[in-house]
Amino acid sequence: MEAVTRVSSTARAAGIVTVVVAALLGSAYVLGRSLVPDQPQRHATGVTTDADGPHYADQPPERPSAASPSTSASQNAAGPTEAGQDGTGRDASGDKLFGAHTGTGTARLALTFDDGPDPRYTPQVLATLREYDVKATFCVVGENAQDHPDLIQAIVADGHTLCNHSWHHDVTLGNRSADQIRADLVRTNEAIRAAVPDAAIVWYRQPGGAWTYPVVSVSQQLGMTPLHWSVDPSDWQAPGADKIASTVLAQARAGGVVLMHDAGGDRQGTVDALRRILPELSARYELEALPTDPT
Protein backbone atom coordinates (compact mmCIF):
# COMPACT_ATOMS: atom_id res chain seq x y z
CA MET A 1 0.00 0.00 0.00
CA GLU A 2 2.88 2.35 0.80
CA ALA A 3 4.43 1.58 -2.62
CA VAL A 4 1.21 2.43 -4.41
CA THR A 5 0.96 5.75 -2.55
CA ARG A 6 4.58 6.58 -3.46
CA VAL A 7 3.92 5.90 -7.16
CA SER A 8 0.77 8.01 -7.12
CA SER A 9 2.63 10.96 -5.58
CA THR A 10 5.39 10.69 -8.17
CA ALA A 11 2.88 10.63 -11.03
CA ARG A 12 1.05 13.63 -9.61
CA ALA A 13 4.30 15.58 -9.39
CA ALA A 14 5.24 14.66 -12.94
CA GLY A 15 1.83 15.84 -14.16
CA ILE A 16 2.22 19.17 -12.41
CA VAL A 17 5.66 19.65 -14.01
CA THR A 18 4.22 18.83 -17.45
CA VAL A 19 1.43 21.38 -17.05
CA VAL A 20 3.86 24.07 -15.92
CA VAL A 21 6.23 23.40 -18.84
CA ALA A 22 3.37 23.46 -21.34
CA ALA A 23 2.15 26.76 -19.93
CA LEU A 24 5.61 28.27 -20.18
CA LEU A 25 6.04 27.10 -23.80
CA GLY A 26 2.63 28.47 -24.71
CA SER A 27 3.45 31.86 -23.21
CA ALA A 28 6.76 31.94 -25.08
CA TYR A 29 4.99 31.15 -28.38
CA VAL A 30 2.43 33.92 -27.88
CA LEU A 31 5.16 36.39 -26.96
CA GLY A 32 7.21 35.43 -30.01
CA ARG A 33 4.24 35.80 -32.36
CA SER A 34 3.52 39.26 -30.95
CA LEU A 35 7.01 40.37 -31.99
CA VAL A 36 6.57 39.25 -35.66
CA PRO A 37 4.62 41.63 -37.96
CA ASP A 38 1.51 40.13 -39.50
CA GLN A 39 2.05 38.98 -43.11
CA PRO A 40 -0.67 39.80 -45.64
CA GLN A 41 -2.48 36.79 -46.94
CA ARG A 42 -2.20 36.17 -50.69
CA HIS A 43 -5.12 34.77 -52.57
CA ALA A 44 -4.79 33.45 -56.10
CA THR A 45 -8.22 34.12 -57.53
CA GLY A 46 -7.45 33.13 -61.10
CA VAL A 47 -9.67 35.97 -62.28
CA THR A 48 -8.51 38.07 -65.22
CA THR A 49 -9.84 41.62 -65.37
CA ASP A 50 -9.42 44.67 -67.59
CA ALA A 51 -8.02 46.72 -64.70
CA ASP A 52 -4.64 47.12 -66.39
CA GLY A 53 -5.92 48.14 -69.76
CA PRO A 54 -8.74 48.07 -72.27
CA HIS A 55 -10.16 44.99 -73.98
CA TYR A 56 -8.03 45.68 -77.03
CA ALA A 57 -4.56 47.15 -76.70
CA ASP A 58 -2.17 47.51 -79.56
CA GLN A 59 0.85 46.98 -77.37
CA PRO A 60 1.45 43.86 -75.24
CA PRO A 61 1.19 44.41 -71.44
CA GLU A 62 4.99 44.07 -71.20
CA ARG A 63 6.98 45.77 -73.90
CA PRO A 64 10.33 44.35 -75.06
CA SER A 65 13.36 45.88 -73.41
CA ALA A 66 15.76 48.07 -75.38
CA ALA A 67 18.15 45.12 -75.62
CA SER A 68 15.50 42.80 -77.03
CA PRO A 69 16.10 41.85 -80.69
CA SER A 70 12.40 42.42 -81.35
CA THR A 71 12.61 46.09 -80.42
CA SER A 72 12.65 48.15 -83.61
CA ALA A 73 13.59 51.70 -84.36
CA SER A 74 9.94 52.35 -85.09
CA GLN A 75 8.92 51.40 -81.56
CA ASN A 76 11.23 54.13 -80.34
CA ALA A 77 9.53 56.58 -82.68
CA ALA A 78 12.86 57.48 -84.18
CA GLY A 79 11.35 58.50 -87.50
CA PRO A 80 11.63 57.32 -91.11
CA THR A 81 15.39 57.84 -91.42
CA GLU A 82 16.15 54.98 -89.05
CA ALA A 83 13.29 53.02 -90.54
CA GLY A 84 15.05 52.95 -93.90
CA GLN A 85 14.39 54.83 -97.10
CA ASP A 86 11.92 52.20 -98.25
CA GLY A 87 9.86 52.67 -95.10
CA THR A 88 10.54 49.10 -93.97
CA GLY A 89 11.08 48.60 -90.26
CA ARG A 90 14.51 47.53 -89.03
CA ASP A 91 15.50 46.14 -85.67
CA ALA A 92 18.54 47.18 -83.61
CA SER A 93 20.85 44.98 -85.67
CA GLY A 94 19.79 46.62 -88.93
CA ASP A 95 17.74 43.66 -90.13
CA LYS A 96 14.26 44.20 -91.45
CA LEU A 97 11.44 43.81 -88.93
CA PHE A 98 10.07 40.84 -90.90
CA GLY A 99 9.22 43.27 -93.71
CA ALA A 100 6.76 45.40 -91.73
CA HIS A 101 6.61 48.99 -92.98
CA THR A 102 7.06 51.84 -90.53
CA GLY A 103 6.91 54.68 -93.03
CA THR A 104 5.00 55.86 -96.07
CA GLY A 105 8.00 55.83 -98.36
CA THR A 106 7.24 59.45 -99.26
CA ALA A 107 7.40 62.84 -97.57
CA ARG A 108 3.76 62.45 -96.52
CA LEU A 109 2.58 61.60 -93.02
CA ALA A 110 -0.03 58.90 -92.44
CA LEU A 111 -2.52 58.79 -89.58
CA THR A 112 -3.78 55.32 -88.69
CA PHE A 113 -6.56 54.26 -86.32
CA ASP A 114 -6.73 50.77 -84.85
CA ASP A 115 -9.23 48.37 -83.28
CA GLY A 116 -12.49 49.76 -84.66
CA PRO A 117 -14.94 50.41 -85.82
CA ASP A 118 -16.70 51.57 -82.66
CA PRO A 119 -20.10 53.29 -82.69
CA ARG A 120 -19.03 55.74 -79.97
CA TYR A 121 -15.69 56.97 -81.28
CA THR A 122 -15.32 56.09 -84.97
CA PRO A 123 -18.06 58.58 -86.05
CA GLN A 124 -16.31 61.31 -84.02
CA VAL A 125 -12.97 60.53 -85.65
CA LEU A 126 -14.56 60.53 -89.10
CA ALA A 127 -16.28 63.85 -88.46
CA THR A 128 -13.04 65.46 -87.27
CA LEU A 129 -11.07 64.17 -90.25
CA ARG A 130 -13.81 65.42 -92.56
CA GLU A 131 -13.69 68.85 -90.95
CA TYR A 132 -9.99 69.19 -91.83
CA ASP A 133 -10.26 67.34 -95.14
CA VAL A 134 -7.78 64.70 -94.01
CA LYS A 135 -7.71 61.09 -95.19
CA ALA A 136 -6.45 58.33 -92.91
CA THR A 137 -6.11 54.56 -92.64
CA PHE A 138 -8.36 52.44 -90.42
CA CYS A 139 -7.00 49.08 -89.23
CA VAL A 140 -10.22 47.28 -88.39
CA VAL A 141 -10.88 44.21 -86.27
CA GLY A 142 -12.95 41.58 -88.05
CA GLU A 143 -15.55 41.03 -85.34
CA ASN A 144 -16.14 44.79 -85.11
CA ALA A 145 -16.46 45.06 -88.87
CA GLN A 146 -19.07 42.31 -88.74
CA ASP A 147 -20.98 44.04 -85.93
CA HIS A 148 -20.85 47.53 -87.50
CA PRO A 149 -20.91 47.23 -91.31
CA ASP A 150 -22.42 50.71 -91.55
CA LEU A 151 -19.23 52.19 -90.08
CA ILE A 152 -17.07 50.27 -92.56
CA GLN A 153 -19.20 51.78 -95.30
CA ALA A 154 -18.81 55.25 -93.78
CA ILE A 155 -15.02 54.88 -93.63
CA VAL A 156 -14.85 53.93 -97.31
CA ALA A 157 -17.38 56.57 -98.34
CA ASP A 158 -15.15 59.27 -96.84
CA GLY A 159 -12.19 58.08 -98.90
CA HIS A 160 -10.16 56.43 -96.15
CA THR A 161 -8.06 53.28 -96.57
CA LEU A 162 -8.92 49.99 -94.87
CA CYS A 163 -6.40 47.70 -93.18
CA ASN A 164 -6.88 44.18 -91.80
CA HIS A 165 -6.16 44.03 -88.03
CA SER A 166 -7.08 40.34 -87.42
CA TRP A 167 -10.40 38.91 -86.36
CA HIS A 168 -10.23 39.26 -82.57
CA HIS A 169 -7.09 41.36 -82.02
CA ASP A 170 -5.03 38.26 -81.29
CA VAL A 171 -1.53 39.39 -80.25
CA THR A 172 -0.33 35.77 -80.40
CA LEU A 173 -1.68 35.13 -83.89
CA GLY A 174 1.83 35.13 -85.37
CA ASN A 175 2.74 32.12 -83.24
CA ARG A 176 -0.02 29.97 -84.71
CA SER A 177 0.15 27.72 -87.75
CA ALA A 178 0.07 29.22 -91.22
CA ASP A 179 -3.37 27.69 -91.81
CA GLN A 180 -4.74 29.28 -88.62
CA ILE A 181 -3.25 32.66 -89.50
CA ARG A 182 -4.68 32.48 -93.00
CA ALA A 183 -8.14 31.53 -91.75
CA ASP A 184 -8.11 34.49 -89.32
CA LEU A 185 -7.08 37.04 -91.95
CA VAL A 186 -9.44 35.67 -94.60
CA ARG A 187 -12.33 35.75 -92.13
CA THR A 188 -11.56 39.40 -91.35
CA ASN A 189 -11.38 40.33 -95.03
CA GLU A 190 -14.69 38.58 -95.65
CA ALA A 191 -16.35 40.58 -92.85
CA ILE A 192 -15.04 43.81 -94.36
CA ARG A 193 -16.19 42.88 -97.85
CA ALA A 194 -19.60 41.85 -96.55
CA ALA A 195 -20.05 45.57 -95.82
CA VAL A 196 -18.16 46.87 -98.87
CA PRO A 197 -17.91 44.13 -101.51
CA ASP A 198 -15.27 45.84 -103.64
CA ALA A 199 -13.15 47.12 -100.71
CA ALA A 200 -9.42 47.22 -101.36
CA ILE A 201 -7.61 45.59 -98.42
CA VAL A 202 -3.91 45.76 -99.14
CA TRP A 203 -2.51 46.41 -95.64
CA TYR A 204 -2.24 44.19 -92.58
CA ARG A 205 -1.29 45.30 -89.07
CA GLN A 206 -0.44 42.66 -86.49
CA PRO A 207 -1.97 43.36 -83.05
CA GLY A 208 0.65 44.46 -80.57
CA GLY A 209 3.18 44.84 -83.38
CA ALA A 210 4.05 41.22 -82.54
CA TRP A 211 5.44 40.38 -85.96
CA THR A 212 6.68 36.92 -86.89
CA TYR A 213 7.83 35.49 -90.20
CA PRO A 214 4.70 33.32 -90.54
CA VAL A 215 2.21 36.16 -90.07
CA VAL A 216 4.14 38.40 -92.46
CA SER A 217 4.40 35.62 -95.02
CA VAL A 218 0.72 34.73 -94.90
CA SER A 219 -0.41 38.35 -95.09
CA GLN A 220 1.78 38.87 -98.15
CA GLN A 221 0.43 35.71 -99.76
CA LEU A 222 -3.04 37.19 -99.33
CA GLY A 223 -1.93 40.37 -101.10
CA MET A 224 -1.47 42.53 -98.01
CA THR A 225 1.57 44.58 -96.99
CA PRO A 226 2.57 44.41 -93.28
CA LEU A 227 2.14 47.82 -91.65
CA HIS A 228 3.86 48.93 -88.43
CA TRP A 229 4.27 52.53 -87.21
CA SER A 230 6.85 55.18 -86.29
CA VAL A 231 4.89 57.33 -83.80
CA ASP A 232 3.12 55.76 -80.84
CA PRO A 233 1.50 58.08 -78.25
CA SER A 234 0.27 55.01 -76.30
CA ASP A 235 -3.26 56.38 -76.46
CA TRP A 236 -4.57 52.88 -75.72
CA GLN A 237 -3.52 53.58 -72.13
CA ALA A 238 -5.85 56.62 -72.11
CA PRO A 239 -3.21 59.09 -70.83
CA GLY A 240 -5.42 62.07 -71.70
CA ALA A 241 -5.73 64.36 -74.71
CA ASP A 242 -2.84 66.64 -73.67
CA LYS A 243 -0.34 63.78 -73.45
CA ILE A 244 -1.50 62.18 -76.69
CA ALA A 245 -1.35 65.46 -78.62
CA SER A 246 2.05 66.50 -77.27
CA THR A 247 3.60 63.12 -78.08
CA VAL A 248 2.30 63.06 -81.65
CA LEU A 249 3.35 66.64 -82.36
CA ALA A 250 6.82 66.08 -80.88
CA GLN A 251 7.53 62.80 -82.66
CA ALA A 252 5.85 63.24 -86.04
CA ARG A 253 8.23 63.35 -88.99
CA ALA A 254 7.78 63.48 -92.75
CA GLY A 255 7.20 59.97 -94.04
CA GLY A 256 6.06 58.65 -90.68
CA VAL A 257 3.09 56.54 -89.64
CA VAL A 258 1.16 57.64 -86.54
CA LEU A 259 -0.57 54.97 -84.46
CA MET A 260 -3.82 55.90 -82.69
CA HIS A 261 -7.02 54.08 -81.72
CA ASP A 262 -10.72 54.64 -82.35
CA ALA A 263 -11.88 51.61 -80.35
CA GLY A 264 -10.86 49.08 -77.71
CA GLY A 265 -11.60 51.20 -74.66
CA ASP A 266 -12.26 54.80 -73.68
CA ARG A 267 -11.01 56.70 -76.73
CA GLN A 268 -12.43 60.14 -75.99
CA GLY A 269 -8.93 61.35 -75.19
CA THR A 270 -7.82 60.33 -78.68
CA VAL A 271 -10.78 62.09 -80.28
CA ASP A 272 -10.07 65.28 -78.33
CA ALA A 273 -6.35 65.07 -79.11
CA LEU A 274 -7.10 64.66 -82.81
CA ARG A 275 -8.94 67.99 -82.83
CA ARG A 276 -5.81 69.62 -81.39
CA ILE A 277 -3.17 68.03 -83.61
CA LEU A 278 -4.83 68.19 -87.01
CA PRO A 279 -4.42 71.97 -87.52
CA GLU A 280 -0.68 71.83 -86.80
CA LEU A 281 -0.01 68.56 -88.60
CA SER A 282 -1.91 69.82 -91.65
CA ALA A 283 0.25 72.95 -91.68
CA ARG A 284 3.51 71.00 -91.34
CA TYR A 285 2.90 67.98 -93.55
CA GLU A 286 0.79 66.60 -96.32
CA LEU A 287 -1.41 64.02 -94.62
CA GLU A 288 -2.43 60.94 -96.58
CA ALA A 289 -4.39 57.76 -96.42
CA LEU A 290 -2.03 54.93 -97.21
CA PRO A 291 -2.41 53.99 -100.89
CA THR A 292 -4.54 51.05 -101.93
CA ASP A 293 -1.66 50.06 -104.21
CA PRO A 294 1.42 50.11 -101.93
CA THR A 295 3.71 48.88 -104.69
Catalytic residues: 114, 261
Report which of 184, 188, 189, 164 is spatially closest to residue 172, judged by C-alpha positions.
184
Give the angle 189-193-195 at the CA atoms, nearest 5°.
130
CA separation for the pair 177, 181 (Å, rounded): 6
Q: Are 262 and 141 in contact (CB under 8 A)?
A: no
CA separation for the pair 224, 162 (Å, rounded): 11
Q: Are 236 and 264 in contact (CB under 8 A)?
A: yes
Report which of 164, 173, 125, 172 is spatially closest to residue 144, judged by C-alpha positions.
164
Q: Rounded to 5, what percent of the chain is helix, strand, coil?
A: 45, 15, 40
Report which of 115, 63, 84, 70 is spatially closest to residue 256, judged by C-alpha positions.
84
Give the angle 120-186-289 at the CA atoms, nearest 5°.
55
